Structure 1
Amino acid sequence: MSRPVIAVTMGDPAGVGPEIVARALTERDLRQTCNPVVVGDPRLMFRAMELVRGGLTIRTVQTAAGAGADPETLDVLAAGTLPPDALKPGTLDARWGEAAAACCRTAVELAKAGAVTGIASAPFNKEAFHMAGYKAMDDMTYFEECFAKGEAYQVGEVAGIWTTPVTFHVAFRAIPDLVTKEAVLAKIRSLDKVLKAAKASPARIGVVALNVHCGEGGMFGREEIDVIAPAIQQAKAEGFDVAGPVPPDSAFPLALRGDYKGLVLMYHDQANIGRKIIGRDQPGVSLFLGMPAPVVTVPHGTAYDIAWKGLAKHSMMARAIATAAALAGKGL
């Protein structure tokens, strides 16, 4: 069986992206899961490979066809290239934002052409990205713009727990109005599809409350009564294995105990605080789905403070690449 071809973007060149990509792709087990083609600056990837002492030969390619098959080689398709000696690691600069965006665009074009079936994206810095003149709020929104097809949504995975927030990057005061029965139900349906594609069993989903103590019977808010519980009942009627509302402070402990493989949470930090605490010991990933190809990235930033010092851990990047390979072609 042929391995999927995965585009791996180098991310913000002044951050840890190039070195964690280089280090991850030296792993022999990872190279058995896919044929990776790095989308980035070949000169910088050469420097990154030397930094991590990975020993792979950097080969510049013009196409993804046939790329990534040799585990002794790191194939790089040029995008986001910078002039020699231009890079200043650990600094903010519009040029780094433009380079990262160019890598994303090229990866999407490869996916549109059918040359790759998934994308693993190293982190880029949103401030540098916006300094370059881009208006998209974040990387998921930018990938959605580049694909210009589908409706992107975010899923996270850590320690075998799959999460998705009903709301994403919005002001906290806007959250209650965005938590609707239809929105909660849509997230239950999409997360169930992801769990089954990932072969997570049993595909049981816990739907997390919005308010403290699940609203305490309406004392602290009625969203659980008027919105979340009706969405759960509708999901059960449709045949989904779903429970809740689950108290927010118990959701991750219950999932770690094995009660749930998936959690539908009401807002970004409700999902990410738990994911990041658990992820200190076990690498996790973030997924942008709903587009023609899955995009998987790491739940951390560019780490300018340690960039290009050989200190960055690559385990999350390796998981991102492996997850992109596992979900490629699954219609997510």
Structure 2
Amino acid sequence: MNRPILGITMGDPAGCGPEITVRALSDATVYQRCRPLVIGDIKCIRDALRVTNRPELKLHQVDRPSQGLYEFGTIDVLHLELVDWDKFSYGKVDPMCGNAAFQCVKKVIELAMAGEVDATVTNALNKEAMNLAGHHFNGHTEIYAHYTGTDKYTMMLAHDDLRVVHVSTHVSLRQACDLVKKERVLDVIRIAHKACLELGIAAPKVGVCGLNPHAGEDGMFGREEIEEIAPAIEQAKAEGIQALGPLPPDTAFSKALGGWYDIVVCMYHDQGHIPLKVVGFVYNKDLGRWDAVAGVNVTLGLPIIRASVDHGTAFGHAGTGVANELSLVNAMDYAIRMANAKKNVSAVK
């Protein structure tokens, strides 16, 4: 019973979330490490059994986490009646499916805030479908921040020992430049440092990227490094954080892969996402398929644990049974690690 309960949202039902969830829970070792609970419409999970050809697995419908069996061979589903199966189809932007994905996220946050699940893991949602359903958020991170009342938070992406966090994410590039301010950069450095400590890294080295090419080249290509980023780094150092930079972004990630930094603070969305997906997403051009879609998205600064897949809904091949579950497995592993660490800290206190 010491295994943490993971609340796993099904994501947009028109996407790959239900099928990769079934694939992930087809591994008996998962149940040795955690108690997985799927939050979603049981009709979608039942069809995912068909899509993935897993007739040996059973479904167990529950109304609350305490009713779960948490035994390999049976997938516990906290059922929310969200999908009209007569109107459902895979691979399409649909407000019904956008609402379903949103309601699952809202429910799992409520469960975590109430202490009924130890960590939350999210499958991909479609932002257009969610907004068409009337839920006007830019993504999971903003939903979590809103419903947990969190002001200071950031996104961390991780693949093996490469970790990146962001000063800004789902905004235009023009707006992202305007958001590079000392206080925000300092907040993200602090959050990054704390996250590494929580992952068991005793003396984290926090690399901090510049915004401009060559980290501004002493002001030749911009002054954000001089006026905003460097002062944040100096303040972090004064607080005892090993913050290093501003780093030229074009070499920072190669150095991070080489062990120079435990985590890298990035100034905007793609500065962090591109290197993570280059190493985590592996396409086999000879076979015409993805060999790996790996990586984890973790929201830091929240009062609850949230880890997620680092990919989209894969509408292009949803419902065909070919989706790769590796990113979800990685997200579950991160959630388990963080939940166990949180329990250990609570036990010491």
User: Which TM-score tier does this pair reach, normalised by the shorter chain?
Assistant: over 0.9
Paired residue secondary structure (1:99): helix
* Structure 1 residues 247-273: Cα deviation after superposition (integer angstroms, max 9, x where no partner): 100011001111111000111110001
Q: Distance in 2 between matches of 1:322 and 1:68?
A: 20
Q: Which secondary structure state, in structure 2, belongs to the residue aligned with residue 137 of structure 1?
A: coil
Q: Is the 8 A contact 1:42 1:78 kept in 2?
A: yes
CA gap 1:175/1:81 in 2 versus in 1, 3 angstroms: closer
State the shift of 1:148 in Å: 3.4
CA contact (8 A) 1:150 1:292 kept: no
- Name the CA shift for 1:68/1:86 in 2 (closer, same or farther; >3 Å): farther
User: 1:33: which partner in 2?
Assistant: 33
Q: Answer yes or no: is the 8 Å Cα contact 1:207–1:246 preserved in 2.
A: yes
Q: TM-score, normalised by structure 2?
A: 0.90
Residue 325 of structure 2 aligns with which residue? 314
Provide the C-alpha distance between the structure 2 equivalents of 1:132 and 1:41, rounded to a whole number of angstroms: 17
Give the letter aligned to residue 12 of structure 1: D
Moved over 4 A (4+): 329-332
1:179-208 Cα shifts (integer Å, max 9, x gaps)? 111111111110011111112365211101
> For the residues of structure 2 that align with 1:83 and 1:118, how far apart are their CA atoms?
29
Report deviation, 1:93: 0.8
Distance (whole Å) between structure 2 residues aligned to residue 199 and residue 23 of structure 1: 29
Query: Is the alpha carbon distance of 1:192 and 1:80 closer, same or farther for their aligned partners in structure 2, counting shifts above 3 Å?
Result: farther
Amino acid in structure 1 at the alignment position of 2:64: T
The answer (yes or no) to whether the contact 2:153–2:191 under 8 Å persists in 1 is: no
Please list the CA deviations of residues 48-72 of structure 1 after superposition, one character each: whole Å capped at 9, or x if unmatched. Answer: 1232133321110111015252112
TM-score w.r.t. structure 1 length?
Answer: 0.95
Q: Alpha-carbon deviations, 1:15-62, whole Å to 9, x = none?
A: 000001111111222222210110011121111123213332111011
How many residues align? The count is: 332
Q: What is residue 278 of structure 1 aligned with on the other side?
A: 279
Cα drift, residue 142 of structure 1: 1.6
Percent same amino acid among aligned pairs?
38
Mind listing any 5+ residue stretches in structure 2 that lack a counterpart?
283-292, 344-349
SS in structure 2 at match of 1:272 = helix
2:46 matched to which residue of 1?
46
Contact 2:191–2:300 (8 Å) recurs in 1: no
Cα RMSD after superposing both structures: 1.8
Q: Secondary structure at the match of 2:100?
A: helix
After superposition, what is the alpha-carbon deviation per residue over 1:308-332, rounded to whole angstroms, capped at 9, x for unaligned? 1011000001111121121127569
Most deviating of 275-284 and 264-273? 275-284
Corresponding position of 2:59? 58
Unpaired stretches in structure 1, ≥5 consecutive residues: none
52-61 or 90-99, which deviates more = 52-61
More divergent stretch after superposition (15-24 vs 221-230)? 221-230
Greater alpha carbon shift after TM alignment, 288-297 vs 12-21: 288-297
Q: Would the aligned equivalents of 1:80 and 1:102 in 2 still touch at CA under 8 Å?
A: no
Alignment of 1:10-29 (within 5 A): 10-29=10-29
Distance 1:173 1:68, change over 3 A: farther
Superposed CA deviations along residues 68-93 of structure 1, whole A, max 9, x for unmatched, are: 52112100001253123332000111
From the superposition, tell whether residues 182 and 150 of structure 1 become closer, same or farther in structure 2 (CA, over 3 Å): closer
